[in-house]
Amino acid sequence: MTVPAFAQQVITGKGLDHPGIKWTWNIKAENYTFDVVTVSNYDMSNVTFNKQNKQLDFYGNSSYPDKIAELDIPKNLIGGNLTVLQDGKPISAVVAPGTDSNTVMLKFNQTGAIKTSVIGTTYLPEFSSIVPLVMVLAVSMILLVPKLKF
């Protein structure tokens, strides 16, 4: 399933050493909404999320070379070992792990439309369906254990 996301805010970014456009994308996954932040010196037109593949796709376009971007991805959305592809081909990217997110830094010379995919090995909300069961068991144990006599 691919879910479209739409940017909320455009700001001249200072996260890069050059002028860039900062976008905050709301990505809906299960009952959660995650903010994926991008800063780039080219037009980032959309971001989509595929939970089955644990994959974010970033769509951009530019008529000039020397593109750079920073993609800030919450670890609770996708995490683990990240693989980065451009137009389906693996590329080298710098991944800087943070406390709550990973920052993927890209530099490339392609002009025109570009699709950058970031694929994770974990998708934490997939475990959200088990959380209520664990809570019920924990509360039951707290209530029942004091009544047992050893």
pLDDT digits (tens, 9 = 90+) for 19-50: 678 999 999 988 889 999 999 999 999 999 99
pLDDT exceeds cutoff 90 at 148: no
Q: What is the reported pTM?
A: 0.72
Please count the other Cβ atoms lying within 10 Å of the Cβ belonging to residue 111.
14
- The total number of residues shown for the chain amounts to 150
Q: Which of the two residues, 130 and 53, has the higher pLDDT score?
A: 53
Range 9-18 average pLDDT: 43
Residue 78 near residue 47, CB atoms below 8 Å? no
Q: Please name which of 102, 53, 94 lies closest in space to residue 76, comparing C-alpha atoms.
A: 102
pLDDT digits (tens, 9 = 90+) for 97-145: 999 999 999 999 989 999 999 999 998 654 545 556 666 677 777 776 6
Q: Classify domain 2-124 at the CATH topology level.
A: Chondroitinase Ac; Chain A, domain 3 (2.60.220)
Whole-angstrom distance, CA of residue 46 vs CA of residue 4: 8
